Structure formats: structure tokens, C-alpha cells
A and B are shown apart, each in its own frame.
Chain A
Amino acid sequence: MKIKLDTSGLGQSRWYEFLLRFAFGGVVTALAGLIAKRFGPEIGGLFLAFPAIFPATATLIEKHEKQKKERAGKNGTDRGKAAAGVDAAGAAMGSIGLAAFALVVWLRLPASGMSIVLIGATLAWFVTSVSVWEFRETIRRRARRGRLKASNRPHNAIHPAVHSGRSTNRRSHE
């Protein structure tokens, strides 16, 4: 599947949706700082990978997909949930990249400059996430191709015994 840049989705978003994400992001960042201050960096660090923005983003995705289907005269409720589910699957893959980001910062920051470590860590997040996504896509493509081949194969090619007149069902002989 090709990766595309598509600006058509932006037209669906309202100004308050951007504001909502800004507010969520800001509040979570401030809270992460306050938690670190109160409980120390070991507990505070956990919240650098807190999925706080995810419920808001998923809600917007569901809403947009639902509206799109309803405009086409279809029931968009299930489709909206499925779209949010697909987004969550992507976030799960992205979280593996997030672990790579944390690993680079943990191991490299004490000995190197902050800018270079953050650029390296962000690259590690991106490369890891995209590699996991590409790996999953390859597996899915192969599985789809396999299913397609199996469904196109003539029935007697799958069960040669049927073609030769022998039964493959052992129970029928018993």
C-alpha cells in the first residue's frame, strides 16, 4: 500500500477540534512535569508515553468517518468504530517506535548534546515505526495473496484424491 499525502481530510476538521487537541496536548505536558516534580523522574518518565491525546483523536476519526458514510446514505456507526480501531493499530506500531525513542534518549543523552540526541531519537522513532508498519503490511499482503490463490485453485487440485475417485474422508471407510 502506498503512502500518500492527502489534504482533503483537513476540510472536515473544525477549528475547535484543533483547539481541543492543542489543549489536551498542553495539559498532558504540564501534568507530566508536575507528576515528575511531585513523585520524581522515575514515575514522571512513565507519563512521557501517556496516551492522553489518543481518545480525543480517535473520537474525531470516528466522527469524520461516520459523517462521510452518512453523506453517502450509509450507516456510518460501525465504519467509524472500525476506522478508529485501524488508527489504534497504527498507534500500537508507533508505540514500538516510542520505545526506540526512549532507549536512544536514556543511553545517549548523558554523554552527548541535547539537540543531536533528540534528532537521533526522533529518527529512531520514525524509522522503527515505519519498519514495523512495512513488516506488517508485507505479512498482510502475503496472507491476502495466499488466500486469493487458494480460492482460485480448482477444487480437484486441492484434493487430488477426489479427482481420482477415492474418498479423503477416513470416517466414510469406517
Chain B
Amino acid sequence: MDVKEILLRTMVGGVMVSAFALLGDLLKPKTFAGLFGAAPSVALATIVLTVMKQGKEYVSVEARSMLLGSLAFFLYASVVSRLLMRRKLSLLPVTSLAIGLWLVCALGLWYAVQRVAG
């Protein structure tokens, strides 16, 4: 991946993420606006650029893994919500440290699927 492609991905990703975040800012109630926190913005930007370069089969494999990533996202957001609403813990440490939970969960699910699939 050359510098030009990295810059292109950065620009497209930035625009997509900002667009969905802006939409979330405009909507009420807050739980509904929160849906846009899990919008497929990074995926849309990546898929368009990757299909053009690597082809559809490659992206289909990525999407299968994305399914596991989104399950890890569900766990991440549920834990963060519970810790902030029930325990009133500080926001930045909770949201940042829980990224580790996402990583462990996503990689763990991927490993488990690999083992089951043989």
C-alpha cells in the first residue's frame, strides 16, 4: 500500500465517519442517536476502495470477519454503557481500556471459528 492509497483511505474514511457522526448529532432521543455510533462508516469506505484493488472475494472474506468484530463491538458497547450508567466511572479510561476487551473478544472469536472450522 503506497502513501497515495493511505491518504485516499484516510480522506474517504474521515468523510464517511464524520457524515454518520453528524447524522447522530442531529437525532433525538440519545439512544436512537447512539445507533449511529455503530454505523458501518469505516466498512463502507474500506469496501469501496478494496473491491477496486483486490476484488470481491477478498472483501467477502473481510466481511465474514467483520461479523465477528461486530459481536465484539456489541460486548464492548454493552460493558461501557453499564459501567458509565451504573458505576459512574470516568469516561475516557472506561472507553479506552474497553478497546482491549474488544480486541481480546474479536481475536478470541476469530480463533474459535478457525478451530471449529478446522
Contact = CB atoms under 8 A, between A and B. Distances in A.
B63 to A, nearest CB: 4
Given A94-B39, A122-B40, 9 more contacts: A13-B25, A27-B10, A42-B62, A47-B69, A55-B99, A95-B38, A95-B74, A99-B70, A105-B60
5 contacts: A30-B13, A34-B1, A48-B69, A99-B70, A133-B31
Interface of B: 1, 5-6, 9-18, 21-22, 24-51, 54, 56-74, 76-78, 80-85, 88-92, 95-96, 99, 102, 106-107, 110
Interface string A61-91: 1100000000000000010111111111111
Contacts of B59: 41, 105, 109
Interface stretch (A3-11, A143-151, A165-173): A3-11
B36 to A, nearest CB: 7
Interface residues of A, number: 83
Given A13-B25, A25-B18, A49 B49 contact: no
A137 B107 CA distance: 32
A39 to B, nearest CB: 10
Most chain B CB atoms below 10 A, which of A105, A122, A136: A105
A101 B40 contact: yes
Interface string A35-46: 011000111111
Contact of A110 (B29, B46, B56): B56
Most chain B CB atoms below 10 A, which of A21, A45, A114, A130: A45
B17 A45 contact: no
A160 to B, nearest CB: 37
A102 B71 CA distance: 11
Interface of A: 1, 3-7, 9-10, 13, 18, 21-30, 32-34, 36-37, 41-55, 57-59, 61-62, 78, 80-99, 101-103, 105-106, 109-110, 114, 118, 121-122, 125, 129-130, 133, 136-137
A106 to B, nearest CB: 4
B78 A86 contact: no
Contacts of B76: 51, 54, 95
A106 B85 contact: no
B91 A3 contact: no
